[in-house]
A = this chain, B = another copy of it.
């Protein structure tokens, strides 16, 4: 096991995507990180702003955005076009040979349209398959993959797909071949015991602690799907899973910061 090569899979999300200077600083720290890397990015608030500018009404059900055809168009433009290509150009500037991809490109990630008895989420995809051979092949050629949260169903339909889930799916698909470190990075320094206190980072989170904090309602809302993805990754053989601040990437990769998700 020990001679598997290290692979970093880093999800970047939160407000940092919308802030060019902070994003570029993060991309510099990504470029200096040695070894094989995959970046999965969310979309920040730009898609919401673009939809508003284009007078496309945003329908929310239970706090989730419904992806109708016009919203999917905006997401494809903003995530797969504007954000993805600007990240790639910036990484190229840093000397990192990046390639920007959606799930449709090279049939990288196949998904199916989510069906629910109660809610029609629209063009939202749940991941079925990650093309780990294609990813391994590109990594072997020295490329850094930059993945936008858009997949396809193999029948010509693009699908809006949660970036945390994409990061987890890609990480688990490569967990046999590589010693994968999966990092969920955002604007907070880790999972906080008190959301108001940035010094309350939980250094290690195992299933029993997680259950306890959920019961005590110390961990709630938006953090839950992220942590669920993190535990699913660890259970599926991903070596390290860390949640922490994008601007402290060096600390997260060296094990000196963030919240480590552990089996026990």
Partner of A150, one of B85, B93, B150: B85
Interface presence of A143 (CB below 8 A): yes
- Find out whether the CB atom of A79 lies under 8 angstroms from the CB atom of B81: yes
24 contacts between A and B (CB under 8 A): A24-B156, A53-B54, A76-B85, A77-B78, A77-B82, A79-B81, A80-B80, A80-B81, A80-B84, A81-B85, A85-B102, A85-B105, A85-B158, A86-B158, A88-B102, A90-B156, A92-B104, A92-B154, A97-B107, A98-B105, A98-B106, A99-B105, A101-B105, A106-B143
Which of the listed residues A77, A81, A141 has the most CB atoms from chain B within 10 Å of its own CB?
A81
Contact check, A89 vs B141: say whether CB atoms are below 8 A apart: no
Q: Evaluate contact between A89 and B73: CB separation under 8 angstroms.
A: no
| Residue contact B106 to A99, C-beta cutoff 8 Å | yes
Q: Does residue A64 face the partner (Cβ distance < 8 Å to B)?
A: no
Shortest 5 CB-CB contacts between residues of A and residues of B: A81-B81, A93-B156, A77-B77, A77-B81, A89-B104
Minimal Cβ-Cβ distance residue in B for A100:
B105
Residue among B97, B137, B154 making CB contact with A141, cutoff 8 Å:
B137
- Residues of B near A154 (CB, < 8 A) are 92-93
CA distance A89 to B100 in the complex (A): 15
- Write the residues of chain A forming the contact surface with B, with a CB cutoff of 8 angstroms: 24, 50, 53-54, 73, 76-82, 84-86, 88-90, 92-93, 97-102, 104-107, 137, 141, 143, 150, 152, 154-158
User: A84 contacts which chain B residues (CB < 8 A)?
Assistant: 80-81
Q: Measured between alpha carbons, how far is A93 from B88 in the docked complex, in Å?
A: 26
Neighbouring B residues of A102 by C-beta, 8 Å: 85, 88, 100
Query: Quick one: closest B residue to A155, CB to CB?
Result: B93
> Contacts of A81 on B, CB cut-off 8 Å?
76-82, 84-85
Residues of B within 8 A of A24 (CB): 156
B76–A104 CB distance below 8 A: no
Q: A106–B101 contact, CB under 8 A?
A: no
- Tell me, rounded to whole Å, the shortest Cβ–Cβ distance linking A113 to chain B: 13
Interface centre among A73, A79, A157 (most CB of B within 10 A): A73
